[in-house]
Structure 1
Amino acid sequence: MSKRVLILTGDGAEVLEVYYPMYRLKEEGFDAVIAAPQQKMLHTVCHDFVEGWDTYTEKPAHLLPADIAFADVDPAAYDALIIPGGRAPEFIRNDPDLPRILKHFLDADKPIGSICHGAQVFLALRNRSSLEGRSMTAYSACKLEVESLGATYADETLHVDGRLVSGHAWPDLPGFMREFLSLLRHPADRTLSPSLS
């Protein structure tokens, strides 16, 4: 039976950070399931950097159909979790079903991939002890969120802590997916790949 990976996202997701993992998972023969607050057509965005701006710009990108609503997700039916960035995390973290989903993956020690602003969703957890003492990276503007979770912010743009893979932004997707897929294929391996050590 093919492994199933849940991708938590919503409107305003960074287009590359949701499409790239989805297609890589499918290419490897895994089931990629897009979950959102509602089962509907999602609007992704493209974040890019423009000279003279202190932060990124945002433009509309591709449409993306959500396969399932958060309320209908049975997290035990999935082997791993990916949380793309963009603006979706700041919105979906308010969904009442999100903590239940996150808690399952953390408690079961299943592989979790979080990239860019994806770290913001962990703020939905009432009990954040599962992230205390851990380390992760995220887009630099999310450093305060990572630290407020009790985790250490890793300065490198790609970081692995046990079964938690984190990336800074979409340029880090090749390494991010390499490490995530390694954990998915070899669940007992909890160490940083030789290419990152």
Structure 2
Amino acid sequence: MAAKKILMLVGDYVEDYEVMVPFQMLLMVGHAVHAVCPGKKAGDFVRTAIHDFEGDQTYSEKPGHRFTLNADFDAVAAEAYDALVIPGGRAPEYLRLNPKVLDLVKAMAKAGKPIAAICHGPQILAAAGVVSGRPCTAYPAVGPEITEAGGRFESIPVDGVHVDGNLVTAPAWPAHPAWIGAFLKVLGSRVEA
């Protein structure tokens, strides 16, 4: 397996598990992962939020950890990366307002690079206009945004994954085994049991 260089777009109040687990797992299998946030540099951190499913009408939210960034957002160029990961949480709602974030996503989608987005991460995909004509999934509350952006929202179990070519999406962190496994396949990675 050739190691890939992966860009991870994060921001304050990114979902804790959705940034920590994929970041660590992708490193574990030998990929390079650059976690970046607009307005921040390597060594800075973002605060995370833990979203849980406790029987309420929507997820609950608790304080998470500090996640340390390892690359500078201002130095990022889409052509330098092989793939993109967009975790969920509350960060996507404001990251999608950043023109450079949208330009990065558009460039990577146009180049056909693998893109993995989970939970609220597809809000950025919708804002960038890259779901038009494509089926994908997300946290159910994001479904209307996907539809409005011309995509086809796929309602699947919270631990499921949807793959459409280079696009790998999932509803929330309970899908990590399926989501990360499918993303590794799209990347061409092999994991030995």
TM-score, structure 1 as length reference: 0.88
- Deviations for 1:32-53, whole angstroms, at most 9, x for unmatched residues? 11011122211011011234x2
Work out the number of aligned pairs and report it.
Answer: 182
Q: Does 1:20 align with 2:21?
A: yes
- Deviations for 1:47-67, whole angstroms, at most 9, x for unmatched residues? 11234x211111111111122
Q: Does 1:41 align with 2:45?
A: yes
Structure 1, unaligned stretches of length 5 or more?
Answer: 187-197
Residue number among 99, 108, 111 corresponding to 1:108 in the alignment: 111
Residue number among 55, 62, 71 corresponding to 2:74 in the alignment: 71
SS at match of 1:81: strand
* Structure 1 residues 92 and 69: alpha-carbon distance in aligned structure 2, compared to 1, 3 A threshold: farther
Give the conservation status (yes or no) of the 8 Å contact 2:131–2:146. Answer: no
Distance in 1, Cα, partners of 2:59 & 2:4: 35
Distance in 1, Cα, partners of 2:98 & 2:13: 15
Distance in 1, Cα, partners of 2:182 & 2:53: 26
Distance in 2, Cα, partners of 1:96 & 1:70: 13
Give the root-mean-square deviation of aligned CA atoms. Answer: 1.4
For residue 71 of structure 1, report the CA deviation from its aligned partner: 2.7
Distance in 2, Cα, partners of 1:76 & 1:63: 29
Distance in 2, Cα, partners of 1:26 & 1:173: 15
Distance in 2, Cα, partners of 1:90 & 1:115: 13
In the alignment, which residue of structure 2 is the partner of 1:50? Answer: 54
Give the letter for the 1:132 counterpart.
S
Distance in 1, Cα, partners of 2:72 & 2:33: 14
Distance in 2, Cα, partners of 1:77 & 1:140: 33
In the alignment, which residue of structure 1 is the partner of 2:183? Answer: 180
In the alignment, which residue of structure 2 is the partner of 1:152? Answer: 152
Give the conservation status (yes or no) of the 8 Å contact 1:43–1:64. Answer: yes
- Deviations for 1:70-115, whole angstroms, at most 9, x for unmatched residues? 3321111110001000101001111121111001111100000010
Give the letter for the 2:66 counterpart.
L
Q: Does 1:140 align with 2:140?
A: yes
Percent identity over the alignment is 39
Give the letter for the 1:21 counterpart.
P
SS at match of 1:62: strand
Distance in 1, Cα, partners of 2:126 & 2:163: 20
Give the conservation status (yes or no) of the 8 Å contact 2:127–2:149. Answer: no
Give the conservation status (yes or no) of the 8 Å contact 2:53–2:60. Answer: yes
Give the conservation status (yes or no) of the 8 Å contact 2:116–2:183. Answer: yes
Distance in 2, Cα, partners of 1:6 & 1:174: 20
Give the letter for the 1:147 counterpart.
T
Counterparts of residues 81-92 of structure 1 (less than 5 Å): 81-92=84-95
Give the letter for the 1:185 counterpart.
G
Counterparts of residues 165-176 of structure 1 (less than 5 Å): 165-176=168-179
SS at match of 1:82: strand
For residue 69 of structure 1, report the CA deviation from its aligned partner: 3.8
